[in-house]
């Protein structure tokens, strides 16, 4: 399976966060902030530590046309990075987007 097929396979999950590190040990402040926001939303999500797969780290930048991490996807669509996610959270838009998928616990 090539790297683009692996990305598409991962994006079949309802909510996917491509981040630096893990939710328990984020390795950059921006990834940590997004993890905190998702936690505040009680979101269930899959994460991918892009440090563990350099090939994917580079390919995803081209796939998404987004140069930085973290990257949050909902229903296979790129929502954005840290600033966009925090802005959406503050406006209540992130909660609505997550509620529209099986990403928020009842």
List binding-site positions: 28
DSSP 53: -
Query: Rg for the chain (alpha carbons), in Å?
Result: 13
Instruction: Give dist(CA 12, CA 7) in Å, integer.
Output: 9
Task: Specify binding-site residues for [2Fe-2S] cluster.
Answer: 28
Cα angle 47, 50, 51; round to 5 = 125
Q: Strand 15-19 vs strand 46-49: parallel, antiparallel, or unpaired?
A: parallel
């Amino acid at each position: 399976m090539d790297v683009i097929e692996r990305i598409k396979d991962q994006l079949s999950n309802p909510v996917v966060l491509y981040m630096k590190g893990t939710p328990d040990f984020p390795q950059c402040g921006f990834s940590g902030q997004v993890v905190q926001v998702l936690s505040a939303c009680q979101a269930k999500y899959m994460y991918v530590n892009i440090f563990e797969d350099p090939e994917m780290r580079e390919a995803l930048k081209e796939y998404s046309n987004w140069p930085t991490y973290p990257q949050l996807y909902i229903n296979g669509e790129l929502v954005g990075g840290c600033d966009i996610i925090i802005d959406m959270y503050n406006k209540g838009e992130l909660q609505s987007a997550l509620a529209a998928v099986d990403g928020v616990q009842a």
